[in-house]
Structure 1
Amino acid sequence: MKKQLTVALAGNPNSGKTTLFNSLTGSKQYVGNWAGVTVEKKEGILNYKDFNINVIDLPGTYSLSPYSMEEIIARNFLIDEKPDVVINIVDASNIERNLYLSMQLLELDIPVVIALNMMDVAEKRGYLIDVFELSKKLGTEVVPIVASKNKGIDKLLDAVVNTKKSKSNNFIKYNNKIEKKIKEIENIIECNDSKYDLRWLAIKILEQDDIIIKEFKDIFKEEAAATISSYLDDESQTSIADGRYNYISNVLDDTIEKTKEQEKTLTDRIDDILTHRWLGLPIFALIMFSVFYFTFDLVGNKLLNIIDSFINNTLATSVNDMLITMGVSEWLNSLIVDGIIGGVGGILVFLPNIACLFLAISILEDSGYMARVAFIMDRSMRRIGLSGKAFIPMILGFGCNVPAVMGTRALDDENDRLVTILINPFMSCSARLTVYTLFAGIFFPNNEKFIVFSLYILGILIAVIAALIFKKTIFKGESSPFIIELPPYKVPSLKGIIIHVWDRLKGFLINAGTLIFGASIILWFVLGFNLNGPAPIYNSLGAQVGKVIAPIFKPLGFGDWRSALSLLSGIVAKEVVISNMAIIYGLEDASKALSVSLLENFSQISAYAFMVFVLLYTPCIATVGVIKKETNSWKWTIFSLVYQFVVAWIVAMIVYQIGKIIL
C-alpha cells in the first residue's frame, strides 16, 4: 500500500509555481504570468514511487505576514494543515528577493525543499549558482529545475520524499538583543498548548503580527500580555527584517558568481515603449482594437458563418426530415428542432468568436503584457481612488466575472476590494459577446468590430465613473500603495495557451450543455402552454410574463415582450438571451431567419441600446453567488443587483433617446 504525502507549493508570484503544479499533477489549471492568478489553493494528485502525493498550490505571496488575503490563505494552510513537506519555488534569476519567503518558511516547523526554478534564465543573465553550497548554507535540500521544460522534476520529487523521511530544522540566528527577546517570550508562552512553533510565534510577536497578537491576547492572562507588549517596538521589527536580508546576502556572496555585467534586457527595451508615460494608453487601446479585429473580421466571423450554416441549415433540416420520416409527433419535433437545436445551436455558432477572444487575451496574459496594463492604468485608477492593482481583476472580467470577483482577494484595502467587486460586472464577459456578435453583425455589418470595441470601452468608462462616485461617497479613504512585479516578456507556450483557451471554452460548452439546454426546454414549454394547456405563442405563459415587464424597456427602444422575456432569462446566463431569442422567433415564424425577425423588430439605435443594456444590467446567477460569497453580505449583493440594473436602464435610455434625436 502506498504512503500518503501532502505537499504544499509556496512561492512568490511569477516564480513558476503554478507551472510546476501543472507539471507535477497534469492539472489543467491556468498558468498565468502576473500576480493574483491563483486566489485559492488548488489540489492535484501525483503518484511517485511508493507515495500518493496530494499537491496543494498555494496563492503566490512575497511573505508570510498577513497583509493581503492571499498571504492569509497561504499562511493559515501551512499552520493549520501542517503539510508533510513544503516545496518553496524560488526564481533563480531573482533569487535574493525570493529567498525572503524561504527564510520565513524555514522558521516554521515544517520540512522545506527549495526548487530553484528558471535556472536557464539565470544562466543567460550570467549567474552561476553553487547549488550544493547553497543547500548547505540554508540547511535544506535545494534542487535546480526548469519547470516549463520539465527539467529536474524527478530529482525534486526524490528530495521531497527524502526530506519527509529526515527533516532538519534550520533557522536564522538574529543579533544578540533579538535572540534574547525571542528566548524570553518563548519562556513566557511555553506553557501554552499552541498550534504554533514557539520560536516562530515569538518572532511573529516581535514583528507585531496583528493576527498573532490578537490571538495571543485572547489566550494569555492580562499581566502576561502586558509583559509581552513591553517587548514590542519598531526597532525589533526592523532588526528581524534586516537579519533575514543580511543572512541572505551572506549566503549569496558565497554561492553565486556573476560572469557578465548586467545589460539592458530586451524586456527593458520593450517596456521603454509599451509603458511609456504618454504612449502606454494609446498602445493598449490599439492592441485591444486589434484583438476585436482578430475576433471578428480576420478569423472569427469566417468560422461563424460555416458553423451557422451547418447548425441552422444542414443539421436542423436533416433532424427535422428524420423526425418527420419517423412519424414523431409535431410537438416533440418542435421541441427538438426549435427548442433544443434552435436554443443550444443558436449559442454554439458563436464559439469561433469566443475562442478567438480567449486566444488573444491568453497570449497577452502569458506574454507578460497584461501586468504592464495594470501598471499603465495605475495613474488613471488613482484619480478615481483605486490603485492599478484593482485593474487586474477588471481585466479578468473580460473572460468571466466569476474569477474576476474572486480575484479581488489580492487587494489589500477592504474598501478598494468592495468597490472593485461592485464595478467588476460592468466589464464585458465573454458570454455577452454572443449578444454583441449577433446584433452588431446584423445591424452594423461593416462596422462590427468598432461597435463591439465601443461597448467594451463603455463598460470600462461606466466602471470608472461608478468607482469615482463610490470613493467620494460610501467608501472614502486613501488607496493602498501599488507595487507590482513586471515579469520578463516571454513567448507564450503553446501548451499553456491551449490549456487556457480550452478551459474557458469548456466552461462555455458546459453552459451550453446544461444551463442553456435546460433553459431552452423550459422556454419552449412556457411559450407553448399557459395555465389552461397548449396555447399559441402570443397567448402563452411566457408571452404573458414578457408583456408584464415589457413597458419597463419601452423608453429604451425595445419594449417588446420577446426582448423583455429574453433579458429576464439572461439573469441565468447571458448566453441564454440569444438562445431564447432564437427559440421565440423560431416558434413564432419558423420560415424566417432570426436575423430577419430582429431587423423587423429593432432599429439600429434600439439594437445598440439593447447591447448597452446587456453590457451593464444584472450579472448572471453565478456572478451574483460569488459576490455574496466574497462580500459575505446580502446587503451588498442586493445593492449590487439593484444599482447595476438602474445604471443599465439609465445609460441605455440615454443612448436610445439621444440616438433618436441625432438619427
Structure 2
Amino acid sequence: MEQAIVLAGNPNSGKTTLFNALTGARQHVGNYPGVTVEKKQGTCLSEAGRFEVIDLPGTYSLTAYSLEEVVARDYIVNENPQMVVNIVDASNLERNLYLTVQFMEMGLPVCIALNMMDVAKKRGVKIDTEKLSQLLNIPVVPTVARTGKGKQELMKVIASQPSGPVKPLDISYGPDIDQALDGMEQIIESGGFLTHRYRARWVGLKFFENDQQIIELGQKQDEKIASKLAAVVEQTTKHLRSTLDTHPEGVIADQRYGYVNSLLRQGIIQIHQDENRLRLSDRIDRIAIHRLFGPLIMAAVLLGLYQFIFTYSGIPGGWLDLFFGWVSGLVDHTLPGGLFKSLLMSGIIDGVGGVLGFVPLIMFMFLGISFLEDSGYLARISFMLDRVFRMFGLHGGSVMAFIVSGGIAGGCAVPGVMATRTLKSPKERLATLLTVPFMNCGAKMPVFALLVAAFFEDNQAQVMLLITMISWMGALLVARLLRSTIIKGESTPFIMELPPYRLPTLKGLFIHTWERTRQYIKKAGTVILGISIVLWTMMTFPGLNDIETNEFEIQRGKITAGLGGTLLSTPSIKQQLLQVDVDQARAELKNSIAGRIGTSLEGITRFAGFDWRTNIALIGGFAAKEVVISTLGTAYSLGAVDPEETVSLAQRLKSDPGWTPLTAFSLILFTIFYAPCFVTVVCIARETGTWKWAVFSVVFNTCLAFAISAFFYQVGRFILV
C-alpha cells in the first residue's frame, strides 16, 4: 500500500535536495488546484515500502502571510498525510525548529529530518539527536540530503510510526494570552466554529496572529462568533500595549522561540570551535560580495556562463540542424508537391524544428543556472543588487523575481511574476511584476542565440552579456519611471539569509536541468506546434489568383521558348527558372493573410529596420516568444524553393540582403522589451486582480520597444552612412 508523506521546511534547508534524493526521476511538476504555486510530487521506493512524496513550498511559518504558506497549510490539513517530514537545517537549529513547533501545535504527525549534518560538523556543532527526539517526543533522523545519507533510515522510521491521533503541543504564551485563549476555546468548541478542520485552541491562536484566511473562513461560517473572538483579541491587544508595549503576534513568536531555546539549553548542542575562526562561506563572502570586487566577480561569472553555453552547445546544436535538414530533405524527395508537403516542411519541420534546434543551448543554460542556484551564489547576487534596486525604487526581494524570470538567462516571466508575492509593499510588488518581463526568459533565448550566431559569431558570449545588461538596465529605468509617476511610494528595507556555499550534486543538477528542458520540449511539441500550423495557414492562404499565377507561367514560357528539353538542365536556364519559382513563392507569401498584415505594418516598422516577414514573426511572438523563431523559419522556408537548399535559418538570414548586424541588434532590442507573452499577461491580470495593468504592460512595453529599436536603427544608419 502506498503511503503519503509531505516534505516541509524553511527555504534553503535542503528540502528539494532531499526530495530529489528520495524520488530521483520518479517525479513530476504541476500546480496546486486553483493557484499558480508549483507542486512537486514523486514516488519513493525504499526498503521500508513505497511512498508518495509531496514537496511543499518552502516556508518559515504556518501563519498565512503568503500564498505559499496558505498552500502548505491547506494541503496538510485537507490531505491528512501519514507523516509530515520537517527538514531542519542542523547548522541553524534554533530558527528552523520554530516551524517544527507550529506543526506540533496543529497536532500533526511530525518527523524531523535533521539535514546538513555535514555542514554542522564542519562548523564544530555537535547535536544530540536522541535527546532532542526525547524532549520533543517525535522522531529525529540525521541526514545529509546532498549525498543521500540517512534517507533509508528516515523511511524506516516513517514506516514504523503508529497511525492515529497525535497529542498537540500546548505552549504557554503568558498569562494574558493564555487566559484569553481559554475563553476563546470554549466559545469555539461550543459553537463548532471551524472545528471540523482545525483545533479550537489553534483557531484562537490564528485570530491573535491576524491570520486573514482563518478569519475570513470563520466570518463565512458564523459572523457572530467571529465577532466575539475579534473582540477578545482587541481587548487583549489593548492590554498588552498598555502594560508591555507589545502586541500578541510578537508575544506568541517570542514564546515559541523561548520554548525552542529551553530545549536547546538542555545539552542538545555542543560547540567545539574557535569563535574567532571564520566559516568557509564567510571567508568566501569577504571577496564574493565585496562592494568593489563582488560586482566584478559577478560579471566574470556571467561571462563565463555564456562562454560555457555557446562553446559546448554548438556541437549538439549542429547535429540537430543536420537532423532536421535530413528530415526535410527526406520529406521533399518522398512526397509529391502540394499543401500537405508544404505543411510538413514549412509549418512543422522548419517551424517546430527551428525551436527544437535550440534544445542543447537551453539544456546547457539550465545546467549553468542550476549550478549557480544550488551552490548558493544566486542568493549572493540578490544581496549585492539590493543596494542598486533601492536606488530605482524596488526592493531587494525583487532581485529573485528578476532572476527567476531570466535575469541571468533562461527563466520564465510567469513564475517571476508569481515570485513577487513575497514582497510586502503593494507598490514595490506592482513595479516589480511590470518589469520582470524585460528579462531574458527561456523563450527569448533562442531568438537571441539565432541572431547572435548569425551576425556576431566571433563575440557571442560578450554580446549575450551585453544583452543581459541592457535588459537589467532597461527594467530598472522603467521601474524608476513607474515609481516616480504612477506608482509612487517609499521603499521598504530588505533582510535575507545567505545560505552556505555548497557543492551541487550531479543528481540534483541532472534533475533540475532535465525538468526545465523537458518543459521547453513539451512547449515546442504542443503550443509552438499549434501556433506554427495556424501561422503556416495564414502564410499560405489565399495565395495568388489565376491571373497572377499565369503571369509567372508566361515568364517560364519565355525562358524555355524554342529550347530543347536537354538544354533545360543547363546552369543558366535552371537558375532563371529557379528565380521565377522564388519570385512566385515570395509573391504568394506576401499576398497571404499574414503577409498582408506584415506588409500593412511595414510603413511604420521600417523605421526600426523590420520588413514584413519580421513583422509576421513578431506578431506571432505575442503568443509565445519562441514563435518568432518558428515563424521566421516558416516564412523564409516558404520563400525559398530550391530543393537542394538545406541551409539553416541563421545562414538564410545572414545571406539575405535585407539583414545586417544593425537590423539584427534592432530586433534583439525589440525582443527584449516588447509585450510579454500571452500567458504572462494573464498571470499579471490574475496577480493584480485587474486587466488594467495587464493591458498597460502590453501597450507600454510594445511602444517602448519600438521607440528604442527605431532610435537605435536610425542612429546606426546615420553613423554608418
Normalized against structure 2, the TM-score is what? 0.83
**Match of 2:305?**
291
Deviation at 1:80, TM superposition (A): 4.9
**Match of 2:234?**
229
The 10-residue stretch of structure 1 (364-373 or 509-518) with the greater mean CA deviation from structure 2: 509-518
Deviation at 1:25, TM superposition (A): 3.5
Deviation at 1:82, TM superposition (A): 4.5
d(CA) in 2 for partners of 1:30, 1:84: 21
Normalized against structure 1, the TM-score is what? 0.90
2:607 is aligned, of 534, 548, 555, to 555
Q: How does 1:309-328 map to 2 (within 5 A)?
A: 309-312=322-325, 314-323=326-335, 328=336
- Tell me, yes or no, if structure 1 residue 567 matches structure 2 residue 618: yes
Given that 1:85 and 1:163 are in contact with CA atoms closer than 8 Å, whether structure 2 keeps it comes out as no
Given that 1:141 and 1:163 are in contact with CA atoms closer than 8 Å, whether structure 2 keeps it comes out as no
Given that 2:26 and 2:43 are in contact with CA atoms closer than 8 Å, whether structure 1 keeps it comes out as no
- Tell me, yes or no, if structure 1 residue 127 matches structure 2 residue 179: no
**Match of 2:178?**
179
Determine helix, strand or coil for the equivalent of 1:475: coil
d(CA) in 2 for partners of 1:505, 1:208: 42
d(CA) in 1 for partners of 2:513, 2:7: 25
1:489 is aligned, of 497, 501, 504, to 501
Given that 2:351 and 2:532 are in contact with CA atoms closer than 8 Å, whether structure 1 keeps it comes out as yes
- Tell me, yes or no, if structure 1 residue 421 matches structure 2 residue 428: no
Q: How does 1:496-645 map to 2 (within 5 A)?
A: 496-530=508-542, 536-558=588-610, 560-591=611-642, 593=647, 594=649, 595-598=651-654, 599-645=656-702
Given that 1:30 and 1:500 are in contact with CA atoms closer than 8 Å, whether structure 2 keeps it comes out as no
**Match of 1:97?**
95
Determine helix, strand or coil for the equivalent of 2:114: strand
Letter in 1 for 2:234: S
1:373 is aligned, of 365, 375, 381, to 381
d(CA) in 2 for partners of 1:99, 1:371: 23
Q: How does 1:103-122 map to 2 (within 5 A)?
A: 103-122=101-120
The 10-residue stretch of structure 1 (282-291 or 46-55) with the greater mean CA deviation from structure 2: 46-55
Letter in 2 for 1:137: L
Letter in 2 for 1:550: E
Deviation at 1:464, TM superposition (A): 0.5
Identity of aligned residues (%): 40
Given that 2:595 and 2:612 are in contact with CA atoms closer than 8 Å, whether structure 1 keeps it comes out as yes
d(CA) in 2 for partners of 1:282, 1:626: 35
Q: How does 1:330-479 map to 2 (within 5 A)?
A: 330-398=338-406, 399-479=411-491
Deviation at 1:96, TM superposition (A): 1.0
Given that 1:207 and 1:236 are in contact with CA atoms closer than 8 Å, whether structure 2 keeps it comes out as yes
Given that 2:454 and 2:653 are in contact with CA atoms closer than 8 Å, whether structure 1 keeps it comes out as no
C-alpha distance after superposition, 1:151-178 (max 9, x if no partner): 3334333443415346333332344454
**Match of 1:246?**
258
The 10-residue stretch of structure 1 (425-434 or 252-261) with the greater mean CA deviation from structure 2: 252-261
Letter in 2 for 1:16: G
**Match of 1:301?**
314
Given that 1:70 and 1:410 are in contact with CA atoms closer than 8 Å, whether structure 2 keeps it comes out as no
Letter in 1 for 2:363: A
- Tell me, yes or no, if structure 1 residue 275 matches structure 2 residue 289: yes
Q: Tell me: CA distance 1:209–1:500, structure 2 relative to 1, closer, same or farther (3 Å).
A: closer
Letter in 1 for 2:620: S
The 10-residue stretch of structure 1 (200-209 or 339-348) with the greater mean CA deviation from structure 2: 200-209
Deviation at 1:584, TM superposition (A): 1.5
Letter in 1 for 2:601: I
C-alpha distance after superposition, 1:497-542 (max 9, x if no partner): 1112222221222232223333333333333320788973232232
Deviation at 1:205, TM superposition (A): 3.4
Letter in 1 for 2:517: L
CA RMSD, Structure 1 to Structure 2 (Å):
2.8
Letter in 1 for 2:201: R
**Match of 1:34?**
none
d(CA) in 2 for partners of 1:225, 1:406: 32
Given that 1:111 and 1:163 are in contact with CA atoms closer than 8 Å, whether structure 2 keeps it comes out as no
The 10-residue stretch of structure 1 (156-165 or 457-466) with the greater mean CA deviation from structure 2: 156-165
Larger radius of gyration: 2
Q: Tell me: CA distance 1:484–1:490, structure 2 relative to 1, closer, same or farther (3 Å).
A: same
Given that 1:178 and 1:236 are in contact with CA atoms closer than 8 Å, whether structure 2 keeps it comes out as yes
2:272 is aligned, of 256, 259, 262, to 259
Deviation at 1:52, TM superposition (A): 6.7
Letter in 2 for 1:551: G
Q: How does 1:20-39 map to 2 (within 5 A)?
A: 20-26=18-24, 39=37
Q: Tell me: CA distance 1:530–1:380, structure 2 relative to 1, closer, same or farther (3 Å).
A: same
d(CA) in 2 for partners of 1:337, 1:26: 38
The 10-residue stretch of structure 1 (443-452 or 46-55) with the greater mean CA deviation from structure 2: 46-55
The 10-residue stretch of structure 1 (529-538 or 198-207) with the greater mean CA deviation from structure 2: 529-538
**Match of 2:553?**
none
Deviation at 1:214, TM superposition (A): 5.8
Given that 2:112 and 2:139 are in contact with CA atoms closer than 8 Å, whether structure 1 keeps it comes out as yes
Q: Tell me: CA distance 1:304–1:227, structure 2 relative to 1, closer, same or farther (3 Å).
A: closer
Q: Tell me: CA distance 1:28–1:555, structure 2 relative to 1, closer, same or farther (3 Å).
A: farther
Deviation at 1:660, TM superposition (A): 1.7
**Match of 1:192?**
191
Deviation at 1:379, TM superposition (A): 0.5
Q: Tell me: CA distance 1:588–1:75, structure 2 relative to 1, closer, same or farther (3 Å).
A: same
**Match of 1:661?**
718
Determine helix, strand or coil for the equivalent of 1:476: coil
Q: Tell me: CA distance 1:160–1:303, structure 2 relative to 1, closer, same or farther (3 Å).
A: closer
Deviation at 1:18, TM superposition (A): 1.8
Determine helix, strand or coil for the equivalent of 2:163: helix
1:57 is aligned, of 50, 55, 78, to 55
Q: Tell me: CA distance 1:268–1:48, structure 2 relative to 1, closer, same or farther (3 Å).
A: closer
d(CA) in 2 for partners of 1:19, 1:439: 37
Given that 1:348 and 1:512 are in contact with CA atoms closer than 8 Å, whether structure 2 keeps it comes out as yes
d(CA) in 2 for partners of 1:251, 1:58: 27
Q: Tell me: CA distance 1:507–1:213, structure 2 relative to 1, closer, same or farther (3 Å).
A: closer
d(CA) in 1 for partners of 2:69, 2:282: 29
Determine helix, strand or coil for the equivalent of 2:489: coil
d(CA) in 1 for partners of 2:93, 2:232: 38
Deviation at 1:395, TM superposition (A): 0.6
Letter in 2 for 1:149: T
The 10-residue stretch of structure 1 (231-240 or 279-288) with the greater mean CA deviation from structure 2: 231-240
**Match of 2:565?**
none
Q: Tell me: CA distance 1:467–1:59, structure 2 relative to 1, closer, same or farther (3 Å).
A: same
Deviation at 1:639, TM superposition (A): 1.5
Deviation at 1:407, TM superposition (A): 2.1
Given that 2:193 and 2:225 are in contact with CA atoms closer than 8 Å, whether structure 1 keeps it comes out as no
Given that 2:623 and 2:677 are in contact with CA atoms closer than 8 Å, whether structure 1 keeps it comes out as yes
d(CA) in 1 for partners of 2:48, 2:455: 63
Given that 2:65 and 2:211 are in contact with CA atoms closer than 8 Å, whether structure 1 keeps it comes out as no
Q: Tell me: CA distance 1:179–1:516, structure 2 relative to 1, closer, same or farther (3 Å).
A: closer
d(CA) in 2 for partners of 1:509, 1:487: 32
Deviation at 1:222, TM superposition (A): 5.0
The 10-residue stretch of structure 1 (103-112 or 139-148) with the greater mean CA deviation from structure 2: 139-148
The 10-residue stretch of structure 1 (529-538 or 649-658) with the greater mean CA deviation from structure 2: 529-538
